[in-house]
Structure 1
Amino acid sequence: MSLAIRTVLGDIPPEELGTCDAHDHLVIGTPLLPCQELDDAEAALAELTAFAALGGGAVVQWTPWGMGPRAEELPDLSRRSGVRVISATGLHQARHYDHDELESVRDGLVELFVHELTSAPVKAGLIKAAGAYHRLDDHARHVMTAAAEAHHATDAPIGVHLEAGTAALDVLDFLCGSHGVEPHRVILGHLHRLPDASIHRQAAEAGAYLAFDGPSRAHHGTDWRLLDSLTALVDAGHVHQILLGGDTVTSTARSTADGPGMPFLLSTLGPRIERELGPDIASAIFTENPARAFAAQWRQP
């Protein structure tokens, strides 16, 4: 069975993915950010077009079930921009959902995830789960258990929101140690929000992919440590496990509004990585690593 990346326009060989924003959002909504939803398809298209103009080839949207993923709109955005889009199933932290809405799917998460990965009109290519701050709460454990089962049924990669960058090793212990997920099938997100080089190294040594995102207004206090974190991992021999994304979650964070948005990855961060770490390192981070991290030997349960 050959490896493929599942995009909203269908499966592609990994080598066709191109330069990738490995963690971002085209559409998303949460009651925690009222009136700041990403719900404008034309604005999303403008952001994708700006990213493509700089050589961007793919964006991984980590917006899960129940947070307005609007999967039916993503194929058109992908076609019009020329950027490949990978969408997500899964669940975020409980606080992002109405209680009754969450209870309506709680006992059927595996079936929900597998359906969105294999049978939905627009198929997801990633399962998202989320930890709590410095721990895994009951909701996180429930969702991650379902994510692990859906992974075993389909081989889909699992992306994990680490709250403020914390609990990375707890996540790996739970998913890999308790539920048999191979570490290289796990992508740990938001690691630059806790620039602890020791934790990053241990997560990399375990075999996981490490996703850094930014810049971020909410976490600007650690943005300046991003290159230090990348350098430490490169020096420790883990360049092939690093991913980068923009994680745009509000309309004002877009480049077409008041933020650096997706283009920042290629207009500013990419050239800096090339200068400070070398073009081969930049190529690995933006192109080669995502092609491996998001590829799967897709199974149909």
Structure 2
Amino acid sequence: MSQPAIRTVLGDVPPAELGVCDAHNHLFLASPRLAGRELDDPEAAVAEARAFARLGGAAVVQWTPFGMGRRAGRLAEVSRAAGVHVVAATGLHQAGHYAPALLERVGGRLADLFVAELTRGLHTDDEPDGPTGPARAGLIKVAGAPHGLDAHARRVMTAAAEAHHRTGAPVAVHLEGGTAALDAVDLLCGTLGVPRDRVVLGHVGRSPDPRVPRQAADTGAYLAFDGPARAHHATDARLLGTLAALVGAGHTGQILLGTDTTRPVARASGGEGPGMPHLLSVLRPSLERELGPEVAEAAFVANPARAFAVPW
């Protein structure tokens, strides 16, 4: 069996070489739901990633899936220019992010599409029948619906599970408002057989129910706490308390941290927000001070190195 590796857009790297990781972010992103707020500027992406790298950042996991303006042909350029590893995603988001015609074209062969992007290369123009580039995906992105799993979510998760079984790739789940975490785990792991430590639950800290992170952690999945620079979110104010409770319950090894930048204005470079640098200039020192350097090292280095490693 091959040794585990993390599949980046510049090739596979040993987990020990991933380094300090932003485990959930977007360098490029476009959707009809976000009209006028696209992340589509390669220079801005490089500037933001460089600002992260200057503080010790070494890797960013881009959760932008197929068909959402991920700029597959530019990701390698950004990685080289910024000096950071970039892990790209295949998969699909909620149905509302796509033209119905595109969903109809790919609907019957989602698993094959995901496997092709994981093993051969990303479709450079987000066309399922178009050419693929040398950059390959390293994870499969799926999404729940608000407070549950609709038919689209179940169809995409079923295809993602098949693609996981054919490749070993991790499955990253967008939880709308932090809801439906247990539904997603029940389907992916209980019904479809994806190992629980191959699932990453995103936005789990955004649920208004403070019991949800602990319930999600008890499933054995990884938990991605993302968007910590959004100071107007109540979940951000209680982030350290939530992490402290998880650490106290023995879940240190499941915690991941990311920025989840979805608008240009949220970036540190050219925007108004603290962006990616916030993870290392503010959050990591706070985590070290409140919970200890070992917890911070686990969340930023050791855990992502395990979560995204696959014996390709």
1:89-100 alignment, distance < 5 Å: 89-100=90-101
1:228 and 2:241 correspond: yes
Which residue matches 1:149? 162
Q: Distance in 2 between matches of 1:214 and 1:139?
A: 25
Structure 2 gap ranges (5+)? 122-133
Which residue matches 2:62? 61
Which residue matches 2:250? 237
Pairs aligned (count): 298
1:269 and 2:254 correspond: no
- Once the 2 structures are TM-superposed, how far is the Cα of residue 215 of structure 1 from its aligned partner? 2.7
Of 116, 121, 129, the residue aligned with 2:142 is 129
Q: Is the partner of 2:32 in helix, strand or coil? A: coil
Of 268, 271, 287, the residue aligned with 2:301 is 287
Q: Is the partner of 1:48 in helix, strand or coil? A: helix
Of 158, 171, 174, the residue aligned with 2:171 is 158
Given the two structures, how large is their TM-score scaled by the length of structure 1? 0.97
- Once the 2 structures are TM-superposed, how far is the Cα of residue 39 of structure 1 from its aligned partner? 0.3
- Once the 2 structures are TM-superposed, how far is the Cα of residue 198 of structure 1 from its aligned partner? 2.8
Q: Distance in 2 between matches of 1:91 and 1:284?
A: 29
Q: Distance in 2 between matches of 1:195 and 1:58?
A: 30
* 8 Å contact from structure 1 (residues 195, 225) kept in 2: no
1:239-281 C-alpha deviation (Å, 9 max, x unpaired): 0000000000011111111111111000000000000000011
- The residue identity in structure 1 corresponding to 2:108 is D
- The residue identity in structure 2 corresponding to 1:68 is G
Which residue matches 2:205? 192
1:25-40 alignment, distance < 5 Å: 25-40=26-41
Given the two structures, how large is their TM-score scaled by the length of structure 2? 0.94
Q: Distance in 2 between matches of 1:251 and 1:199?
A: 30
Q: Distance in 2 between matches of 1:186 and 1:295?
A: 12
Q: Is the partner of 1:297 in helix, strand or coil? A: coil
Structure 1 residues 218 and 271, CA gap change in structure 2 (3 angstroms): closer
Q: Distance in 1 between matches of 2:63 and 2:218?
A: 25
1:173 and 2:173 correspond: no
Q: Distance in 2 between matches of 1:24 and 1:262?
A: 8
Q: Distance in 2 between matches of 1:267 and 1:183?
A: 32
Q: Distance in 1 between matches of 2:161 and 2:155?
A: 10
1:191-210 alignment, distance < 5 Å: 191-194=204-207, 196-210=209-223
Q: Is the partner of 2:67 in helix, strand or coil? A: coil
- Mean CA deviation greater in 133-142 or 199-208: 199-208
- Once the 2 structures are TM-superposed, how far is the Cα of residue 203 of structure 1 from its aligned partner? 2.0
1:192-220 C-alpha deviation (Å, 9 max, x unpaired): 11154432222222210000012354961
Which residue matches 2:224? 211
* 8 Å contact from structure 2 (residues 230, 236) kept in 1: no
- The residue identity in structure 2 corresponding to 1:26 is L
Structure 1 gap ranges (5+)? none
After TM superposition, what 4+ stretches of structure 1 lie above 3 angstroms from structure 2?
A: 216-219
- The residue identity in structure 1 corresponding to 2:277 is P
Q: Distance in 1 between matches of 2:310 and 2:210?
A: 29
Q: Distance in 1 between matches of 2:97 and 2:229?
A: 20
Which residue matches 1:182? 195
